[in-house]
Amino acid sequence: MKLKTLTLGLAAAGLTLSSVAQAATVEYWTMQTQSDRLQTIEVMADVFEALNPGIEVKVVAVDENDMPKQIAAAAASNTLPDLIEVGSNLSLAFAEQGITDADAATAVVNNLGKDRIYKGALKMVEDPEQNKFVAVPYSGWVQGIWYRADWFKEAGLEPPTTWESIEKAAKYFNKPEQNQYGILIGTKADSYAEQVYTQFALSNDAGQFDKEGNLVFNSAKQKEALDFYKQLSEYTPPGPQTWRARDYYLQGKLAMFFYSTYIMDDLALAEAAASSLGTSNFADLKGATFDPELAKNTRLATTVTHSSPSTFGTLTGFSIMKNDNKEDLEATKAFVEYMNEKDQVVAYSHMAPGGHLPMLRDIAETDEFLNDPKGIFNRYGKESIKEIIAGFDNIKDFSIVDGKAFPKSGEIFSKQIIPRMIYSAVIEDQDTQKSLDWAEKEMQQIITK
């Protein structure tokens, strides 16, 4: 590669690899296909090459949706890459196929320091039976309840972190006669509703599968979660609602709403907020000017707790593929460690502030990380950002139980069974047990195929 220019703090990035012979190659597949992001990654690879003569890094962009198919083809032809950047579900699935090197990933995790990595993120890529990690956690986003901290303080209410405190605040702030609502949850049959519901269900230890792979969705705990979700919907703007109703929040007409950390720029920057400040999306919203204090007055409760703490989100990590070439393997491990140095982590995170949050907690608290090019993080403040990223300590997913991935969960997701269940219970006002019975039957049909 031709060396490009990017400020990455090369002094910190310098490393020598006495154990790596000349002419080692690291073929790295990344899901970052946008040209600007890909260019940033290529520059990081160029710097690594410059610091480690004899090692070549080949960066290959692969669309996230194409990754399973491309990996299957590469495995069949014995042309697997050395390193892939994928979500935790795929990391576990590939590990079960026997094509990843858990020993190498575990060695990198140990070299980085397990205590530096958010514990929930590690659990997402852990093989507890082998006491190994199938991937090295790198970045991700979390979902939670964004709320008006200034309103809560004035009302003397606790942050919305438990079922009880969430419902209390939703009821308190719900004033439909003033076109103000307590909370936004998904009530339309779409993926947003499933993401929100999943966090509540897992906070009540209500899963889809047990660790043996048995379907356990239709349970008393699941009914309790759906009953509570239905209750909360009374404090949500009317009609089937999805993420678009964030407009109510940006126009000062909503106390709480569920969203991922991708919303951070919309709350902080006038140009990003513009699409939510008009009158075209909702007839009952009259439009509003941008509130420059909104980010400062907003906090995110990443974790919802009832029976246990639960955060919903996605985790992306580095899976090291099996390779008989020891020189390539050692170079790959060194490259992953290099990518986890502060300058590289910060550069990667700044490609999508809020969407690529770092998994190394000490880096997430540095001034360099907080100083993103658009000044988004600084508008929230260090303590708020620290609270947001700490949600990775409790991140959970329906598809992973005790370190085992259940791909059928992905098929269930694709059929929108849970969103349709929510719609029937909330919008069509069907008995929650009947909605659960229907969902269980639909899931069973997928599993027995």
Domain 143-311+396-448 indexed as CATH 2.40.50.140: no
Q: Each residue of 239-264: pLDDT tens digit?
A: 999 999 999 999 999 999 999 999 99
Q: Where are the domains of the chain?
A: 24-141+313-393, 143-311+396-448
Over residues 146-169, mean pLDDT: 98
Dist. CA 239–CA 434, nearest whole Å: 21
Residue 14 has pLDDT above 80, yes or no: no
Residues present in the chain in total: 449
Q: Each residue of 197-221: pLDDT tens digit?
A: 999 999 999 999 998 999 999 999 9
Per-residue pLDDT at 11: 39
Report the share of the chain in percent with pLDDT over 90.
83
Say if residues 203 and 256 touch (Cβ distance below 8 Å).
no
Q: Each residue of 84-111: pLDDT tens digit?
A: 999 998 898 899 899 999 999 999 999 9
Dist. CA 133–CA 206, nearest whole Å: 25
Residue 4 has pLDDT above 70, yes or no: no
Dist. CA 277–CA 261, nearest whole Å: 19
pTM of this prediction? Answer: 0.85
Mean pLDDT of the chain: 92
Burial readout 412-436 (b: 16 or more C-beta within 10 A, e: otherwise): bbeebbbbbbbbbbbeeeeebeebb
Residue 19 has pLDDT above 90, yes or no: no
Q: Each residue of 356-398: pLDDT tens digit?
A: 999 999 999 899 999 999 999 999 988 899 889 999 998 988 9
Per-residue pLDDT band at 8 (split at 50, 70, 90): very low
With a CB cutoff of 8 Å and minimum separation 6, the contacts of 113 are none
Say if residues 234 and 348 touch (Cβ distance below 8 Å).
no
Identify the CATH homologous superfamily for domain 24-141+313-393: Periplasmic binding protein-like II (3.40.190.10)
Q: Each residue of 277-286: pLDDT tens digit?
A: 999 999 999 9
Per-residue pLDDT at 22: 55
Over residues 132-136, mean pLDDT: 96
**β-strand pairing of 83-87 with 309-320:** antiparallel
> Does 24-141+313-393 match 143-311+396-448 in CATH topology?
yes
Say if residues 282 and 276 touch (Cβ distance below 8 Å).
no
**β-strand pairing of 132-133 with 126-127:** antiparallel
Distance from CA of residue 157 to its chain's centroid? 28
Residue 226 has pLDDT above 70, yes or no: yes
